[in-house]
């Protein structure tokens, strides 16, 4: 048996219920996990924040850009190491919900590697400090607050991306399974949700002649399907 329910909060989401009978006369139907699909513009959702940071232009904010970079440029006096920040508002999910899975989908604008058979590895960490999308830079989390460490404060591991080159290019999408324990904490304690920081693991190991970076589309990209998407499945109590 299935039924469809539409939930409204600040944003709008479509939630699906389903149940199955095990055949045991004493058993009762149990609802399947509910799915929340979060993407800027989808069902009027407007809870995405994203930007990038650039150590070559440490006072520049990129919050209005339609792309965000992570990695090492090389051969450029102004643009060298870049990192990205991404956060989703999860307030439409009940705080007592039990997160079953969390999957992040990103679409590439570009992938550049120092060799044709190179694999770029991006780690996703928890951001440790509140940041403002239209103010965050390599130096500052907001207009008046400086990062403890330039390039963003981060700690706990959330996910990992291995991006082969060739293998991915402009318009291709990648899906990353996020640590459900971290996402659970964000749902249960919204104040803990400071979002994610993307860092290329090779950013400090390449020389000036080498490049290794990826470019993802942001929430500002005109094509909605190319914007970052977070899908969370959760059991409700």
Instruction: Tell me the pLDDT tens digit for each residue of 135-156.
Output: 999 999 999 999 999 999 999 9
Mean pLDDT of 166-192: 95
- Rounded to whole angstroms, how far apart are CA atoms 34 and 29? 15
Strand partners, 34: 234
Mean pLDDT of the chain: 86
pLDDT band for position 6 (cuts 50, 70, 90): very low
Q: How far is CA 78 from the centre of its chain?
A: 26
Q: Is the pLDDT of residue 35 over 90?
A: yes
Residue spans per domain, the chain:
47-235
Q: What is the 3-state secondary structure (H, E, C) of the chain?
A: CEEEEEEECCCEEEEEEECCCCCCCCCCCCCCCEEEEEECCHHHCCCEEEEEEECCCCCCCCCCCCEEEEEECCCCCCCCEEEEEEEECCCCCCCCCEEEEEEEEEEEEEEECCCCCEEEEEEEEEECCCCCCCCCCCCECCCCCECCCCCCCEEEEEEEEEEEECCCCCCCEEEEECCHHHHHHHHHCHHHCCCEEEEECCCCCCCCCCCEEEEEECCCCCCHHHCCEEEEEEECC
**pLDDT for res 34:** 97
The answer to whether residue 25 scores a pLDDT higher than 50 is no
| Res. 24: pLDDT tops 60 | no
d(Cα 122, Cα 160) in Å, to the nearest integer? 6
Looking at the chain, the whole-number percentage of residues with pLDDT higher than 90 is 69
Predicted TM-score (pTM) of this structure: 0.85
Who has greater pLDDT, 113 or 149? 149
Kindly report which listed range (201-205, 207-211, 229-233) carries the lowest average pLDDT score.
207-211
The token pair at 72 is 């090492």
How far is Cα 24 from Cα 28, in angstroms, rounded to an integer?
Answer: 8
**How far is Cα of residue 195 from the mean position of the Cα atoms in its chain?**
7
């Amino acid at each position: 048996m299935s039924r469809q329910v539409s939930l409204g909060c600040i944003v709008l989401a479509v939630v699906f219920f389903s149940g199955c009978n095990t055949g045991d006369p004493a058993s009762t139907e149990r609802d399947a996990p509910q799915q929340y699909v979060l993407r800027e513009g989808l069902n009027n959702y407007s809870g995405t924040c994203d930007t990038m940071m650039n150590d070559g232009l440490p006072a520049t904010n990129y919050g209005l850009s339609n792309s965000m970079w992570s990695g090492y440029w090389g051969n450029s006096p102004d643009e060298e190491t870049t990192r990205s920040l991404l956060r989703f508002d999860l307030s439409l999910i009940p705080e007592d919900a039990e997160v079953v899975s969390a999957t992040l989908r990103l679409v590439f604008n570009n992938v550049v590697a120092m060799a044709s058979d190179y694999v770029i590895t991006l780690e996703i960490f928890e951001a440790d400090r509140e940041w403002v999308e239209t103010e965050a830079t390599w130096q500052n989390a907001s207009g008046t607050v400086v990062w403890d460490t330039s390039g963003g404060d981060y700690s706990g591991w959330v996910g990992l991306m291995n991006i082969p080159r060739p293998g991915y290019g402009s318009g291709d999408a990648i899906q990353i399974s996020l640590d459900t324990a971290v996402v659970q904490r964000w749902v249960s304690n919204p104040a803990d949700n400071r979002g994610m920081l993307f860092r290329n693991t090779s950013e400090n190991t390449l020389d000036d002649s080498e490049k290794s970076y990826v470019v993802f589309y942001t929430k500002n990209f005109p094509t909605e399907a190319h914007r970052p998407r977070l899908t969370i499945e959760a059991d409700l109590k």
